[in-house]
Amino acid sequence: MKNTKNHTGRNSLIISIMGLITLQLLLYFKYISGWYWHIALSGFEAATIGGFADWFAVKALFREIPIPFVRKHTNIIVKNRAKISEGIVDLVTNEWLSPQVIKEKIAEISIVDKVLNSLKENDTKKFISFVEPLVKQFATSLNLNSFLENQMQRLNVGSYAGKFIKSNIGNKAYNNLWETILDTASKTINASETEEILKLTIQNQIDNYKKESKLKGLLVSIGETTNGIDRDSIAQKLLHSFNDIIENAKHNPQDAIRMKIDHYVLEFSEKLIHNDPETSEIITNIKHKLASMDWNGISNTILSKLKNDDQLENFLNEQLQVLVDKLKQNEDLKSNIDASIKRAIEKIIAENHDEIGKMVETSLASLNDKELVNQIEDKVGNDLQYIRLNGAIVGGLVGVIIALLRMFLTS
Name the residue type at position 80: N
CA dist 56 and 58 (Å) reads: 6
| DSSP code string of 27-39 | HHTTSS-SHHHHH
Contacts of residue 188, defined as CB under 8 A and 6 or more positions apart, other chains included, come to 194
Per the CB < 8 A criterion, the answer to whether 229 and 218 are in contact is no
Q: Quick one: pLDDT band at residue 1, thresholds 50, 70, 90?
A: very low
The pLDDT value recorded for residue 152 is 64
Q: Is the pLDDT of residue 302 over 70?
A: no
10-43: per-residue pLDDT in tens?
888 899 999 999 999 998 888 888 888 989 999 9
Cα distances (angstroms) measured from residue 380 to each of 4, 59, 226: 12, 13, 104
315-342: per-residue pLDDT in tens?
666 767 777 777 777 787 788 888 888 8
Per the CB < 8 A criterion, the answer to whether 48 and 17 are in contact is yes
**What percent of the chain is predicted at pLDDT more than 70?**
77
The pLDDT value recorded for residue 75 is 85
| Residue 102 half-sphere exposure toward CB, CA atoms < 13 A | 17
73-101: per-residue pLDDT in tens?
888 888 888 888 888 888 888 888 888 88
114-148: per-residue pLDDT in tens?
777 776 655 556 665 665 566 556 555 556 666 66
359-373: per-residue pLDDT in tens?
888 888 888 888 888
226-275: per-residue pLDDT in tens?
666 676 777 788 878 888 888 888 778 788 887 888 888 888 888 888 88
The pLDDT value recorded for residue 255 is 81
Of residues 205 and 55, more confidence is placed in 55
Per the CB < 8 A criterion, the answer to whether 3 and 382 are in contact is yes
**Radius of gyration of the chain measured on its C-alpha atoms:** 43
Name the residue type at position 287: K
The pLDDT value recorded for residue 128 is 59
148-188: per-residue pLDDT in tens?
666 666 666 677 777 777 777 777 767 777 777 778 878 88
**What percent of the chain is predicted at pLDDT more than 90?**
7
Per the CB < 8 A criterion, the answer to whether 19 and 44 are in contact is yes
CA dist 84 and 158 (Å) reads: 61
pTM above 0.85, yes or no: no
Tell me the average pLDDT across 46-59.
88
Name the residue type at position 72: K
267-301: per-residue pLDDT in tens?
888 888 888 888 878 877 877 777 677 766 666 66
